[in-house]
Structure 1
Amino acid sequence: MFFRNLTLFRFSATVANDLEKLDEALAEHRLRPVGPLEMSTRGFVSPLGRNEEALTHVVKASTLVMVGSEDKLLPSSVVNDELHNRVQKIAEEEGRKVNGRERKRIKDDVLNELLPRAFVRSSRLAVYADRKHGWLVIDSSSRKSAENGVTQIREALGSFPAVPLAPEESPRALMTDWLATGNLPGGLTLGDEVELRDPATATGAIARCRRQDLESEEVREHLRNGKQVFLLGLTFDDRMTFVLGEDLVVRKLKFLDVVLDEMGDSPHDSPAAEMDARFALLTLELERLLGKLDEWFKLPRPD
């Protein structure tokens, strides 16, 4: 179990104390199957697997939870086509137009008939809270999905004032300087991916490079023309690679072989033991990375 993307929030030391009762709070918010006439349900599932009961997994000061969802797959085009057919049939058989109120009733009938037969899509969102340092880490690059994860925890606890990052140093300006000068913080090296944009207008020119030498003349020409870095591929301490956005979302996170080798190939006695090993390694590596992000961009923890 390794996260592939990191959307980050921060919370205070006081809020960290509230997380001590998270396991108890989640018990009343388990994911239940979506009902015949429901579009979706949200709740918590065990991070250890389908047949496990525990809704949290704790290693030292980090607590892992898994937000589950079930969503009915019922495209609006299917509903609208069936609605159109029924309205057309009334017009042909009864020789009259269907008014707005009747049209709404017919649409409700269509939904009530189609929903129980719709396919259900299940999804899982991994989230962990580092209580010691005040990080909430969500395995998603989507701000909407991340906010939904925070909302689920907030509903379970009654209150959970985790806030988005508020960098005091401009990520765009700092990453542009790294690329332009080659002066990166210790332990950080350029990867092979970058997205450069003209910041003057919302529809300004965009240059995307993948599998590219970022110190090439082609990239430098874009910088000389005033483009700035919006996404930058980086390698940290030769242990992980990722793409960092100007929104400070970490995308395409990948641990290198030196990290994976530390896991070893020995079998574990139980799902919990295997999760312990993987989660401990994940949080240890990310603790160092998040500490550096805090150092580079100055990401204050709420009081």
Structure 2
Amino acid sequence: MFFRNLTLFRFSPAVATDLDRLDEALAEHRLRPCGPLEMFTKGFVPPVGRGEGEPLTHTVKQCTLLTVGGEDKLLPAAVINDELQRKVQKIAEEEGRKVGGRERKRIKEDLLTELLPRAFVRNSRMSVYADKKHGWLVLDTSSRKSAENALTQIREALGSFPAVPLAPEEGPRVLMTDWLATGNLPAGLTLGDECELRDPATATGAIARCRRQDLDAEEVKEHLRNGKQVFMLGLTFDERISFVLGEDLIVRKLKFLDVVMDELGDSHEDARAELDAGFALLTLELERLLGKLEEWFGLPRPADS
């Protein structure tokens, strides 16, 4: 249940009200299996259970969980090209002629029609939740492209969903560089053991990556004195959550520490009770962390238009 990465968007109070119809809207956009000649399908699947009648959302207090699903056919271009070359060569040998571009294109289309029904299918799932009280849309991915694709799915289901990327008033790179250089971090925040430093002056500037490293070490400070800035920084919040924060404000390698996991316990009656407990704990912990990100970097919630 616990998210491993956080890509974040914000939405206004008016948009939060519109999310009350989310379960009804998603019902018409359930994930369906890939057809024989389809490369992929996208849709929504139940956060818990696999039955046809299972709800597509799960709400605890002000937070609503949903799962964006997909099925993709695995048909590598190399396989198609090898088969195409074999057919073209066979025509050249048997008929003594070259295959033109138009005929080659037709042969390739015929190959797709022949091979697609036999291709393996890969399933994908992405957990997403909306905090309607505070205006956060939280996606369990570190890929901006994947997050945008999932957001598009939600928008298509709702007809409109004006969630926007984060717009920090404080430059994340500058602020995190200051944290690392001075050791003057906000209350409750401590340095982890990982960072990525880059020279921002040039597109191909030097990059220094540290893992399992004391970030107070002199060699790290020397990189900063030489003009490098922080692009990723490992942090621990209130000794309860560790993560790596990027200058794009994507939270990577999110981990809930033992003190949090001990609060979850392991005595749950069924999968739904376990989901309830896990989701409640997840959203409570992240409410505090996201509130601090909002404070540190100045991440305003959009106002109603």
1:20 aligns with 2:45: no
Q: Mapping of 1:1-303 within 5 angstroms?
A: 1-51=1-51, 53-268=54-269, 270-303=270-303
Cα separation, 2, equivalents of 1:284 and 1:267: 19
Cα separation, 2, equivalents of 1:123 and 1:261: 30
Higher mean displacement: 127-136 or 52-61: 52-61
Cα separation, 2, equivalents of 1:189 and 1:238: 8
Letter in 1 for 2:19: L
Letter in 1 for 2:215: L
Letter in 1 for 2:20: E
Letter in 2 for 1:272: R
| Unaligned segments of structure 2, at least 5 residues | none
User: How many Å apart are 1:28 and its aligned residue?
Assistant: 0.5
Letter in 1 for 2:16: A
Higher mean displacement: 243-252 or 86-95: 86-95
Letter in 2 for 1:26: L
Cα separation, 1, equivalents of 2:298 and 2:73: 42
Higher mean displacement: 81-90 or 202-211: 81-90
User: How many Å apart are 1:253 and its aligned residue?
Assistant: 0.3
User: How many Å apart are 1:74 and its aligned residue?
Assistant: 0.4
Cα separation, 2, equivalents of 1:164 and 1:135: 10
User: How many Å apart are 1:49 and its aligned residue?
Assistant: 2.5
Task: Render the CA deviation track for 1:74-119: whole Å, top value 9, x for unaligned.
Answer: 0000001111111111111111121221111100000011111110
Normalised by the length of structure 1, the TM-score is: 0.98
Cα separation, 2, equivalents of 1:258 and 1:48: 26
Identity of aligned residues (%): 80
Task: Render the CA deviation track for 1:261-295: whole Å, top value 9, x for unaligned.
Answer: 11112122x32221111000000000000000000
Letter in 1 for 2:243: F
Cα separation, 1, equivalents of 2:82 and 2:49: 40
Cα separation, 2, equivalents of 1:276 and 1:22: 19
Cα separation, 1, equivalents of 2:283 and 2:205: 39
SS in structure 2 at match of 1:252: strand
Cα separation, 2, equivalents of 1:49 and 1:90: 52
Cα separation, 2, equivalents of 1:106 and 1:206: 47
Higher mean displacement: 252-261 or 89-98: 89-98
How many residue pairs end up in the alignment? 302
Cα separation, 2, equivalents of 1:267 and 1:56: 20
Cα separation, 1, equivalents of 2:171 and 2:79: 46
Cα separation, 2, equivalents of 1:236 and 1:103: 58
Letter in 2 for 1:63: T
Cα separation, 2, equivalents of 1:202 and 1:302: 33
Cα separation, 2, equivalents of 1:247 and 1:136: 16
User: How many Å apart are 1:121 and its aligned residue?
Assistant: 0.5
